[in-house]
Amino acid sequence: MSQARHSNSIGGASCDDEGGTAAIGIARWLSLAAAPTFAIMALLTAVVGGGPLDALCSAANASPVGGMVPMYLLMTAFHSAPWLKLIVRR
């Protein structure tokens, strides 16, 4: 009887330990998916080209590093922490 059940106000569904564990697992996989996704986007943008949005991002000259490819590479670097933690654990 010590298990706490939380009900959702919209559908009244309950969340037990399995649901919490599943949510943590999904969050972990999503955090691992971010860096490769941004790396693929950087590669595709470099190969195929950025199109009209690339010109929009680099037109303001607000940054010495212009364009979408450097932005995606920076996002890859910022989101690489879960991968580094995984490598260190092994």
| Cα 89 to Cα 80: distance, rounded to the nearest angstrom | 15
| Cα 87 to Cα 74: distance, rounded to the nearest angstrom | 20
Task: Please indicate, yes or no, whether the overall pTM of this predicted structure exceeds 0.95.
Answer: no
The per-residue pLDDT for 7 is 47
The per-residue pLDDT for 3 is 52
pLDDT tens-digit readout, 58-79: 555 555 566 788 889 999 999 9
Instruction: Indicate the burial class of 87 (C-beta count within 10 angstroms; 0-12, 13-18, 19 or more).
Output: exposed
> In one letter, which amino acid is 53?
L
Which portions of the chain are predicted below pLDDT 50? Answer: 1, 7-13
Question: What does the DSSP 8-state code read for residue 10?
Answer: T
